[in-house]
Structure 1
Amino acid sequence: MDSVDPIKIGKTSTLKDSKTRCLHAIKLQPELATLDCGTIVFGEQIFVARMSDLREMATLMREAGVKPELECFDLGHIEIAKKLVSEGTIDGPALFQFCLSTGNGAPASPTVLQAMRELLPSGAIWGGFGCGSDEMPVVAQIVPMGGHVRVGLEDNIYLRRGVLASNAGLVENAVGIIERMGGSVATPAEARSILGVSKRG
């Protein structure tokens, strides 16, 4: 490491300053945007997220009217996200997203999922996703625990073994699992109400 300055972490670093890293959220102002709540190692690559970086990005997103989706790849990331919430950097109710089976963090096991849920602050909204072949099994794990689910091509490109998926196909699969388990899927308006966000004009 050449410097403690996150912009100069190494000679080959491509790391940008906090504002540049969330410029997409500031400019496009989506209802939600992800905020990865911790430093993550992806093979030979490192995603750096110091508390100062996270505070600045969360503040910039809040000022742009964008709700952060607090992505947690491990138990420690939940603690970091909780600190942002307790400091008032994140407006409540906070939205926590458990990112499972990425190969670089928490595995998609019931024990891990239960431990992550138990760390959440009171009143938190939460959900999660599994990557690859864990995508649909994680849907089935989260629904009875009272969480929300995410599926999509970012996390898995197959509908089933050897069959490439579409986002629509993955959503249809997830809806089928949820409904067969006795749950129901929120409408867009209901989802916005649950998340505390407003439809963009």
Structure 2
Amino acid sequence: MLNDLNPSWSFGDTGEYVRRVTSGMPPVIVTCATTGEHRKRDHPGLPTSAAEQAEAAKVLFAAGASIIHIHGRVVGDPDRTANDPQTYGVINEMIRAAAPELLVDNTQTIAEVPVAPREFLGRIYQYQTAPIEARPDLMALNPGPMTFRGGAEWPSGVYITTFDETERIANALREAGIKPQVFLYHPGHLDLLEHLITRQALDPPYFVQLVFGQHSGINPGPESVLYMLRNLPRNCLFQTCALGLHAIQVNTLALLLGGHVRTGMEDSLLFQKDQVVKSNVQLVERVVRIAGELGRRPAAAEETRAMLGLPPYRA
């Protein structure tokens, strides 16, 4: 079970770090982000349908993941991201039938904001709250704004929100009994986290996802990770994710520092340089193995709930 040390502490405190290494770090919460915005043409093994997500959930739970992060797809069109509560409700129900103890984490969903092409070059998206009705255990809470480079198939875009809107969503999540995971993409988002805490819109421990290497976000170097950790408020439980080949580097650093990790095909379709990943479970098995070498085992679902301040699972 959990070490009697609180799994949340001042991560910039060197003395506390040394003490915890000696006494034993907490078990590691492993989240698998299975799909993201990728499509079947990007990887044929990507789980996109509700049935595929549920089947993946069962295998991932057995491999050591205690949270699954879900991006839904429009039924009959696996290339289109779903933004409605009904789709997420079906996915969540099927996952819970396949792996009842696994915690379900839904993405926040978005909606495009109409804008005249001559007035703005790119697309504008507003963060939404559709999954709240689907009652996941956790939901991503994105502070924004974030801007993303375009490409051959996608125009550049910006994701918008405000302090007040983020606070409103945080309160709505609390009322629904859903734990928010606050995504921090760069140091400026630390200010918004402090705002939510000051406004008492979040309940401790504050579950934060530190994202590295995203467009307009902080880079995935070690100093970036350490900077974000040194400036986290107290009572935070941090998890890291990074894009592409940086994912395992950043996650290994998080494991060393007593944090928790997110892996999965949403974050990287590569296992190593020039080696395409076989499946989500391959990525989970890797972080579990590395954690074990560092003296940390994967947190069981009930331990994850306890660390996040969530009620025990009831069948």
TM-score by length of 2: 0.57
- Deviation of 1:9 after TM superposition, in Å, equals 7.4
Q: Which amino acid aligns with 2:176?
A: A
SS at match of 1:155: coil
Structure 1 CA distance for aligned equivalents of residues 194 and 230 of structure 2: 12
Select the residue among 185, 196, 200 that pairs with 2:309: 196
Pairing 1:42–2:148 present:
yes
Check conservation: 1:22, 1:57, Cα contact below 8 A.
yes
Q: Which amino acid aligns with 2:189?
A: H
Select the residue among 245, 249, 254 that pairs with 1:133: 245
Runs of 4+ in structure 1 over 6 Å off: none
Q: Runs of 5+ in structure 1 lacking a partner?
A: 1-6
Q: Which amino acid aligns with 1:35?
A: L
- Deviation of 1:170 after TM superposition, in Å, equals 0.6
Select the residue among 164, 168, 173 that pairs with 2:277: 164
Q: Runs of 5+ in structure 2 lacking a partner?
A: 1-111, 118-122, 150-155
Aligned 1:109-120 pairs, distance under 5 A: 109-120=221-232
What is the match of residue 10 of structure 1? 115
Matched pairs, number: 192
What is the match of residue 4 of structure 1? none
What is the match of residue 27 of structure 1? 133
Pairing 1:84–2:189 present:
no
Check conservation: 1:37, 1:78, Cα contact below 8 A.
no
Aligned 1:43-58 pairs, distance under 5 A: 43=149, 44-58=156-170
Structural RMSD (CA): 2.1
Pairing 1:73–2:185 present:
yes
**Greater length-normalized contact order (CA 8 Å, ≥ 6 residues apart):** 2
Structure 2 CA distance for aligned equivalents of residues 104 and 32 of structure 1: 25
* Structure number, greater radius of gyration: 2
What percent of counterpart residues are identical?
A: 26
- Deviation of 1:69 after TM superposition, in Å, equals 0.3
1:112/1:14 CA distance change after superposition, 3 Å: closer
Q: Which amino acid aligns with 2:146?
A: I
Structure 2 CA distance for aligned equivalents of residues 38 and 70 of structure 1: 11
Residue deviations 1:58-95 (CA, integer Å, cap 9, x gap): 11111111111000000111221121011101112111
Q: Which is helix-richer, 1 or 2?
A: 1
Structure 2 CA distance for aligned equivalents of residues 8 and 158 of structure 1: 33
TM-score by length of 1: 0.87
1:15/1:140 CA distance change after superposition, 3 Å: closer
Pairing 1:182–2:182 present:
no
